[in-house]
Amino acid sequence: MSTSEKPHILVTAPWYQAAMDELPNFFTVHRLDTASDPDALLADVREKIVGLAGSHDMKINGALMDKLPNLKVVSNFGVGYDNVDVEAATAHGLKVGNTPDVLNDCVADLALGLVLATCRKIPQADRYVRDGKWESVGNMAFTTRVHHRKVGILGLGRIGQEIADRCAGFKMEIGYHTRSKRDVPYTYYPSLLEMAQDVEILIAIVPGGAATKHIINREILDALGPQGVLINVARGSVVDEQALIEALRDGRLGAAGLDVFEAEPKVPQALRDMPDRTVLQPHQASATHDTRMAMGRMVIDNLRAAIDERPMPSQVN
C-alpha cells in the first residue's frame, strides 16, 4: 500500500447513512453487505483490509477475522457489541470499539416514553379518538398513573442511570438490580426476583448475550404480577418472549412496552394482536438523527485511532 493510499476498511453491515457517507473521506471503503459475491470480494481485498465497520445486523466472528490477515480493528455501531466475537478478536490481537454514551439520553427518553405510553395507554387513546369512539361511546376507560409508582431498573450502567434520573423527575420510587451495589440513592436488590416482586414497573437495560439470555422469564413475569408493567429497551434476548406472550395473554402480567424483540424485525403476531396490553416500537430507542450521527462518527474515530495506533475513544477489550 502506498503512503498516499487511504487505509482499506470493510463494511459488514449498514448503519446511519449520513455518517457512512463520510467514510470515503478517510478510508478506501469496501462493502461486504452489498457485494454480489461476498466470497470473491473477501478473496480480492483480504490482504488490504485493516478495519471492519459493522452493526448488529451481521455477526463478526473468528471465521471472518481469519480471512483478513492484516486486520487491526473492529468498530461496531452501537453500545451493544454482542454481534462481535470479542474473545476471538482478542485472540487475533484486534481492538474492538463500540459507541457508548452518545446515545444514553435518547434511549432513556424512549424508555420513559414507553412507560408513559404503556401505563397511560397513549397509543390506545389515540386510536380511540381516531375511531370516533369518544363521540359514539363516551369517555375511554381510566388508565394508571406513572408518578410515585415503584420502578425497578435491571442494569444501572450509563443508560440505566439516565433512566433513573428521569424516573426521579416523575417522583417514582426507584430500585435497581445489578451484579454489585452502586453508590446511588436508590434501593438495591441483590436478586432480580426480589425486585420484580416489590416493584410495579420493571425496565430492562442490560447488555445482550449468553449471560443475560431470558433473564426475564416466567418466574420474573409472574413476580411482577397482573398489574405489573415490563419495559424492554435492552435486547430482545433478555426476555423469554414466549413466556411474555403467555403472561400477557393469561392476564398474569399487566402490560409491556417493547422496543426490542428476539427475532427482530420479526415481531410475534401474538404481541401485535394484544394492542390493549402492548406498546411496540421498531428498535428505535437511539434512532434520532443527532444521536445516530454521533454514533457513526465514533465508529469512524475508533477506526482511525486504532489504525494509527492511537488510543481509541471507546475500546471494549
Q: What is the 3-state secondary structure (H, E, C) of the chain?
A: CCCCCCCEEEECCCCCHHHHCCHHHCCEEEECCCCCCHHHHHHHHCCCEEEEEEECCCCECHHHHHCCCCCCEEEEECCCCCCECHHHHHHCCCEEECCCCCCHHHHHHHHHHHHHHHHCCHHHHHHHHHCCHHHHCCCCCCCCCCCCCEEEEECCCHHHHHHHHHHHHCCCEEEEECCCCCCCCCEECCCHHHHHHHCCEEEECCCCCHHHCCCECHHHHHHHCCCCEEEECCCHHHECHHHHHHHHHHCCCCEEEECCCCECCECCHHHHCCCCCEEECCCCCCCCHHHHHHHHHHHHHHHHHHHCCCCCCCECC
Domain that holds residue 80: 8-100+290-307
pLDDT per position as a tens digit, 92-128 = 999 999 999 999 999 999 999 999 999 999 999 999 9
Looking at the structure of the chain, the number of domains it has is 2
Q: Is 203 helix (H, G, I), strand (E, B) or coil?
A: strand
CATH of the domain at 48: 3.40.50.720
pLDDT per position as a tens digit, 60-101 = 999 999 999 999 999 999 988 989 999 999 999 999 999 999
Does residue 108 lie in a domain region? yes
Does residue 81 lie in a domain region? yes
- Specify whether 114 is located in the same domain as 93: no
> What whole-number distance in Å separates Cα of residue 268 and Cα of residue 245?
9
* Active-site residue identified among 22, 173, 246, 264: 264
- 214 is known as an active-site residue: no
- Specify whether 112 is located in the same domain as 226: yes
Does residue 32 lie in a domain region? yes
The whole-model pTM stands at 0.88
For residue 184, name the pLDDT band (cuts at 50, 70, 90).
Answer: very high
For residue 209, name the pLDDT band (cuts at 50, 70, 90).
Answer: confident
Q: Tell me whether the omega of the peptide bond preceding residue 190 falls within 30 degrees of 0, making it cis.
A: no
* Active-site residue identified among 92, 249, 252, 283: 283
What pLDDT does 217 receive? Answer: 98
pLDDT at 145 over 80: yes
- Specify whether 130 is located in the same domain as 235: yes
| 189: its cell numbers | 436488590
- 283 is known as an active-site residue: yes
- Specify whether 208 is located in the same domain as 73: no
pLDDT per position as a tens digit, 272-292 = 999 999 999 999 999 999 999
> What integer is the mean pLDDT of 245-269?
97
pLDDT at 22 over 60: yes
- Specify whether 149 is located in the same domain as 214: yes
- Specify whether 190 is located in the same domain as 125: yes
Which stretches does DSSP call E strand in the chain? 8-11, 28-31, 49-55, 73-77, 95-97, 150-154, 173-177, 187-188, 201-204, 229-232, 255-258, 278-280
- Specify whether 74 is located in the same domain as 130: no
- Specify whether 79 is located in the same domain as 228: no
- Specify whether 262 is located in the same domain as 130: yes
- Specify whether 170 is located in the same domain as 120: yes
Contact 78, 98 (CB under 8 A): yes
> What whole-number distance in Å separates Cα of residue 152 and Cα of residue 173?
9
- Specify whether 56 is located in the same domain as 113: no
* Active-site residue identified among 235, 277, 292, 304: 235
pLDDT at 3 over 50: no
pLDDT at 262 over 90: yes
For residue 2, name the pLDDT band (cuts at 50, 70, 90).
Answer: very low
Does residue 84 lie in a domain region? yes
Does residue 285 lie in a domain region? no
Does residue 312 lie in a domain region? no
For residue 5, name the pLDDT band (cuts at 50, 70, 90).
Answer: confident
Mean pLDDT of the chain: 96
- 235 is known as an active-site residue: yes
Does residue 255 lie in a domain region? yes
- Specify whether 83 is located in the same domain as 147: no
pLDDT at 4 over 80: no
Name which residue leads in pLDDT, 5 or 67.
67
What pLDDT does 169 receive? Answer: 97
pLDDT per position as a tens digit, 186-199 = 999 999 999 999 99
What pLDDT does 82 receive? Answer: 87
> What whole-number distance in Å separates Cα of residue 294 and Cα of residue 307?
20
